[in-house]
Amino acid sequence: MSAKSQFDLGTEPTNNHSRSEEYPWFALQVRSRRESCVADYLHGQGYERLLPLYKCRRRWSDRIKEVQTPLFPGYLFCRFDPQDRLPILKTPGVIQIVGVNRTPVAVDEAEISAIQTMVAAGVPNQPWPFLQVGEKVRIESGSLCGLEGILLDFKGSHRLVLSISLLQRSVAVEIDSAFVASTSQQPSRLEKRLVRCRPVEIVS
């Protein structure tokens, strides 16, 4: 599968917002199952938007079908001028711009970049319960080189957990633990709190 099919890149804004790269990314909370419609509408209005998708298996009455579903159900990301946010709020399907006390809060650029890199690499990934950041590891080689996250061992597979702090959501991507190195010299306190996850030896 191509990277294009795994998430809506939205990197070619129209002339109305051709300089959107100057603005930060914001998270939009949208109505259930309207993520793709909202993303398409924003793209048509010239905004750069990001709707990461992942493959999952759904059971139908007579078969099991593989479908693409948003990594962050009910949310998508968009670049825009926070001082000119009324058009965003008026977009059909948009509930609100995620923020504090009605003030939009930008998503960390590094977190967005990590999600983009992960999906573009085409490696298997899935939503994951949000974990507070404890000790981090960094991937030292391969297509995800440079990404940092939390290393776990889940059902025999190694996963790196990437987080969007603003949304309190995380994504787990399968990796080869031989390619990671610890970014801290201190033992991870986070792993002690994990439930149903077996600690992984971190290669340094």
In a domain, 32, yes or no: yes
Domain count, the chain: 2
- Tens digits of residue pLDDT in 145-156: 888 888 777 666
The domain of 171 spans 110-193
In a domain, 122, yes or no: yes
164 pLDDT exceeds 80? Answer: yes
Sorting pLDDT into bands at 50, 70 and 90, what band is 77? very high
pTM: 0.69
- Least confident range from 46-50, 78-82, 154-158: namely 154-158
In a domain, 202, yes or no: no
Beta strands in the chain (DSSP E): 7-8, 25-30, 49-59, 64-70, 75-79, 94-97, 99-100, 103-104, 125-128, 137-139, 148-154, 157-164, 169-174, 180-182
